[in-house]
Amino acid sequence: MQRIVVLAGGIGGARFLRGLRSAAPDAEITVVGNTGDDIHLFGLKVCPDLDTVMYTLGGGIHEGQGWGRADETFTVKEELAAYGVGPEWFGLGDRDFATHIVRTQMIAAGYPLSAVTEALCARWQPGVRLLPMTDDRVETHVLIDDPEAQGEEGGRKAVHFQEYWVRLRASVDAHAVVPVGAETAKPAPGVLEAIAASDVVLFPPSNPVVSVGTILAVPGIREAIADAGVPVVGLSPIVGDAPVRGMADKVLSAVGVETTAAAVAAHYGSGLLDGWLVDTVDAGTVGAVEDAGIRCRAVPLMMSDEHATAEMAREALRLAEEVRA
Amino acid sequence: MQRIVVLAGGIGGARFLRGLRSAAPDAEITVVGNTGDDIHLFGLKVCPDLDTVMYTLGGGIHEGQGWGRADETFTVKEELAAYGVGPEWFGLGDRDFATHIVRTQMIAAGYPLSAVTEALCARWQPGVRLLPMTDDRVETHVLIDDPEAQGEEGGRKAVHFQEYWVRLRASVDAHAVVPVGAETAKPAPGVLEAIAASDVVLFPPSNPVVSVGTILAVPGIREAIADAGVPVVGLSPIVGDAPVRGMADKVLSAVGVETTAAAVAAHYGSGLLDGWLVDTVDAGTVGAVEDAGIRCRAVPLMMSDEHATAEMAREALRLAEEVRA
């Protein structure tokens, strides 16, 4: 049985995983999920990326928007607003609230996030083993201009990633992206073991900075991947000169990376990445990526439906076998 | 301006208060609310009696059932059940959940329950000052037979009041009612001051054991009422030989009190109670109550609508003036 480890962010990672599960139905898939965009709202612990993976693979996702629950209602949120309690910019629905209530209650009772995630997945049966990257608190902050700051040169301030992404919709420049707490975080139980035992490691077309990058920022994970001695293959989240979805260009530029498929591959680096899939529109960049020591193929990378996504996953596994051979 | 202090439980207290507010629109009404039936559910702090008063006076109550919110939905609860998380026997609706989320978040932030209650009332504008009896944790437990207990004589166990009242529907005998924590609780800020400054103290037709009795179990409150030197008038929750609503007979018998209007008056005692209203069907008991040193009148005590309830409140205030004169 093939053992596959996937480092996943939210929507892109979750959709890719659905295709992968379909492409490799007999594989044992372990997902290491990003928790850097976790946030405490209304006193509840919200894990957007873990939940997006869980809901998507468990059949509960709102297909249209890619996050949150299908058939969702917003009564609790409206009532909270009636109390003057926000934020209103974060879309928590009633069904979703239940997940956060269960999680918060279990964490208050002393369970680590990894145990909580396993308990939640007992309901959703995602068909993969979903692990948070860490049980420790990591919170991605984004440094932006602060127009209200004093001083001649103007000031900057750090905001929670969700505030940057959801409230501000990445409409202002990001000067830095900092996964606060990552440097002292430990990989969650099972993460390093799964990587060491894997046959292949995949980076789905998730955000290379705030999703995959945050997971790699947890000490030990990048090293474990490099040490595993197995093919590491990624899929470009950039098609042409724009992210397939989301606003990855803003956070890429914060870390000095161009918004191109080739630049993202170089950002991961040949020390980590063995293979890289770019979209057919970026076929012209294959040579440059290969010159940088990363095997590269151009294939359709639009996750328009599960069939297309499964085909992407098959291409990634094929490239992994090429790398292995 | 007349200053009225009311010791209130849930449904009976709340409905009486609506009548009182209508009967004495210019009075300054302070409600000391029972918190002995507070319960932590799903990691959230739920205060059923405070909320029933707040929702009833604020126009948000489910009129038919007397507790919970009007136009309520139960999505969160259904989702919690889908996670296997209960209890399912406690009816928390989506609108209601928001109240408990706000309360729990404020308490976690360090606010005492009295400050939280004031903040919640800023939305509901109940037209009274609603104070919890205490900011400390008091939890009413009921001692019942435990059929699973070992030993020749059989054992007993203590259950939370809500488990006895809501889950078991008081279907088994209560051997004792214990307000755990009451002996070390302090009255919430403002409670003793309101009593000392009051012109009259009223006991609505609330449960004399688990509602008014629990409030009186907080050290200092009973003494403050006795020391205030103002008329203290109660309304019988027992009409004929049955509680008007609820299952007060079970908890009355646990404290050795008969389920009659006269016995409840004697339970409060002439040292505390100056006046007592019984229903017209209990007119025959007026003499016995007065013989015990408590002025007594028989008037209609069914809170069938706000008009009837206001008339009950007027009778209570009239009796207070008789006592004063």
Q: Looking at chain B, which residue has its C-alpha nearest residue A81? A: B98
Chain B CB contacts of A44 below 8 Å = 101
Q: Nearest C-alpha of chain A: how many angstroms from B85?
A: 7
- Quickly state the pLDDT bin for B241 (edges 50, 70, 90): confident
Dist CA B245 CA B284 (whole Å) = 22
Q: Nearest C-alpha of chain B: how many angstroms from A102?
A: 7
Q: Phi and psi (nearest 5°) for A29?
A: -105, 125
Dihedral angle, C-alpha B168, B169, B171, B177, nearest 10 °: 80
The single residue listed with the structure tokens 């299952």 is B247
B104 → closest Cβ in A43, A75, A99: A43
Q: Is the pLDDT score of B9 beyond 70? A: yes
Q: What percent of chain A has pLDDT over 70?
A: 98
**pLDDT tens digits, B302-324:** 999 999 999 999 999 999 999 99
Dist CA B152 CA B149 (whole Å) = 9
Dist CA A38 CA A141 (whole Å) = 11
**pLDDT tens digits, A19-56:** 999 999 999 999 999 999 999 999 999 999 999 999 99
Chain A CB contacts of B75 below 8 Å = 73, 75, 94-95, 98
Going by DSSP bridges, is the β-strand pair B200-203/A238-239 parallel, antiparallel, or unpaired?
unpaired
Instruction: Report the interhelical angle of B11-23 vs B306-324 (nearest 10°).
Output: 70
The single residue listed with the structure tokens 């009404």 is B29
- pLDDT recorded at residue A141: 96
Interface probe for B, chosen from A95, A101, A103 (most Cβ of B below 10 Å), is A101
Query: Is B37 part of any known ligand binding site?
Result: no
* Distances in whole angstroms, Cα of residue B107 to Cα of each of A33, A86, B46: 31, 16, 12
- The answer to whether the CB atoms of A76 and B98 lie below 8 A apart is yes
CA nearest neighbour of A46 among A77, A16, A84: A77
Dist CA A261 CA A284 (whole Å) = 11
Q: Is the pLDDT score of A289 beyond 90? A: yes
Chain A CB contacts of B74 below 8 Å = none
Dist CA B178 CA B139 (whole Å) = 8
Q: Nearest C-alpha of chain A: how many angstroms from B116?
A: 11
- The answer to whether the CB atoms of A101 and B73 lie below 8 A apart is no
Q: Is the pLDDT score of A171 beyond 60? A: yes
DSSP for A78-115 reads HHHHHTT---SSS---HHHHHHHHHHHHHHHTT--HHH
Q: Is the pLDDT score of A152 beyond 60? A: no
- pLDDT recorded at residue B150: 65
The complex's ipTM?
Answer: 0.91
Q: Is the pLDDT score of A177 beyond 90? A: yes
Q: Is the pLDDT score of A58 beyond 70? A: yes
Chain A CB contacts of B77 below 8 Å = 98
- 3 state DSSP class of B162: helix
The single residue listed with the structure tokens 């996030």 is A113
Q: Kindly state the average pLDDT of the residues B196-204.
A: 98
**Contact present, A102 and A153 (Cβ < 8 Å):** no
Q: Kindly state the average pLDDT of the residues B212-230.
A: 97
- Element holding B251 (H helix, E strand): helix B248-254
Q: Nearest C-alpha of chain A: how many angstroms from B74?
A: 9
The neighbour count for residue A183, using CB atoms within 10 Å, is: 11
Read off the amino acid at residue B148. E
Q: Phi and psi (nearest 5°) for B40?
A: -95, 120
**Contact present, B204 and B31 (Cβ < 8 Å):** no
* Residue ranges of chain A whose CB lies within 8 Å of a chain B CB: 42-44, 73, 75-77, 79-80, 82-85, 94-95, 97-99, 101-102, 104-105, 108, 119-120, 122-123
**pLDDT tens digits, B231-240:** 999 999 999 9
Q: What percent of chain A has pLDDT over 90?
A: 90
Q: Nearest C-alpha of chain A: how many angstroms from B103?
A: 10
The single residue listed with the structure tokens 């004169």 is B325
* Distances in whole angstroms, Cα of residue A37 to Cα of each of A47, A268, B1, B205: 7, 20, 55, 52
- pLDDT recorded at residue B143: 94
The single residue listed with the structure tokens 């139960």 is B74
- pLDDT recorded at residue A149: 72
- Quickly state the pLDDT bin for A243 (edges 50, 70, 90): confident
For B115, the token pair is 């400050």
Give the number of C-alpha atoms closer than 13 A to the C-alpha of residue A279, restricted to the C-beta side: 18
- pLDDT recorded at residue B14: 97
Q: How many residues does chain A have?
A: 325
**pLDDT tens digits, A270-286:** 999 999 999 999 999 99
* Cα-trace Rg, chain A: 19
- Phi-psi domain of A226 (left: phi exceeds 0; alpha: psi -120 through 50; beta: other): alpha
Q: Nearest C-alpha of chain A: how many angstroms from B89?
A: 17
Alpha helix ranges (H) inside B69-132: 75-82, 94-108, 113-124
**Contact present, A157 and A56 (Cβ < 8 Å):** no
DSSP for A247-307 reads -HHHHHHHTT--SSHHHHHHHH-TTT-SEEEE-GGGGGGHHHHHHTT-EEEE------SHH
- The answer to whether the CB atoms of B120 and A76 lie below 8 A apart is no
Going by DSSP bridges, is the β-strand pair A238-239/A275-278 parallel, antiparallel, or unpaired?
unpaired
For B78, the token pair is 């259904």
Q: Is the pLDDT score of A107 beyond 90? A: yes
Q: Looking at chain B, which residue has its C-alpha nearest residue A41? A: B105
What is the distance between the terminal CA atoms of chain B, rounded to a whole angstrom? Answer: 18
What are the sequence ranges of the domains in chain B?
Answer: 3-134+183-324, 139-182
Q: Kindly state the average pLDDT of the residues A189-216.
A: 97
- pLDDT recorded at residue B158: 93
Chain B CB contacts of A77 below 8 Å = 98
Give Cα B300 distance to the centre of its chain: 21
- Element holding A243 (H helix, E strand): strand A242-243
**pLDDT tens digits, B131-176:** 999 999 999 999 999 877 766 566 899 999 999 999 999 999 999 9
Dist CA B130 CA B29 (whole Å) = 9
**Peptide bond before residue A87 is cis, with ω within 30 degrees of 0:** yes
- Quickly state the pLDDT bin for A131 (edges 50, 70, 90): very high
- Quickly state the pLDDT bin for A150 (edges 50, 70, 90): low
Chain A CB contacts of B122 below 8 Å = 84
The neighbour count for residue B43, using CB atoms within 10 Å, is: 20
Q: Is the pLDDT score of A310 beyond 80? A: yes
- pLDDT recorded at residue A151: 62
**pLDDT tens digits, B42-92:** 999 999 999 999 999 999 999 999 999 999 999 999 999 999 998 999 989
- Element holding A233 (H helix, E strand): strand A232-235
Sign of CA dihedral A146, A148, A153, A155: negative
Between A147 and A120, the higher pLDDT residue: A120
- The answer to whether the CB atoms of B102 and A123 lie below 8 A apart is no
- The answer to whether the CB atoms of B82 and A98 lie below 8 A apart is yes
**Contact present, B32 and B6 (Cβ < 8 Å):** yes
DSSP B282: G
- The answer to whether the CB atoms of B76 and A83 lie below 8 A apart is no
- The answer to whether the CB atoms of A97 and B99 lie below 8 A apart is no
- The answer to whether the CB atoms of A98 and B104 lie below 8 A apart is no
* Residue ranges of chain B whose CB lies within 8 Å of a chain A CB: 42-44, 73, 75-77, 79-80, 82-85, 94-95, 97-99, 101-102, 104-105, 108, 119-120, 122-123
Chain B CB contacts of A98 below 8 Å = 75-77, 79-80, 82-83
Q: Kindly state the average pLDDT of the residues B22-29.
A: 97
- pLDDT recorded at residue B11: 94
Q: Kindly state the average pLDDT of the residues A171-183.
A: 94
- pLDDT recorded at residue B31: 98
Q: Looking at chain B, which residue has its C-alpha nearest residue A74? A: B94
Q: Which CATH superfamily is domain A3-134+183-324 in?
A: CofD-like domains (3.40.50.10680)
Q: Nearest C-alpha of chain A: how many angstroms from B38?
A: 17
DSSP for A157-168 reads EEEEHHIIIIIS
For B216, the token pair is 């009186």
For A245, the token pair is 């979805």
Q: Is the pLDDT score of A180 beyond 60? A: yes
Q: Kindly state the average pLDDT of the residues B190-216.
A: 97
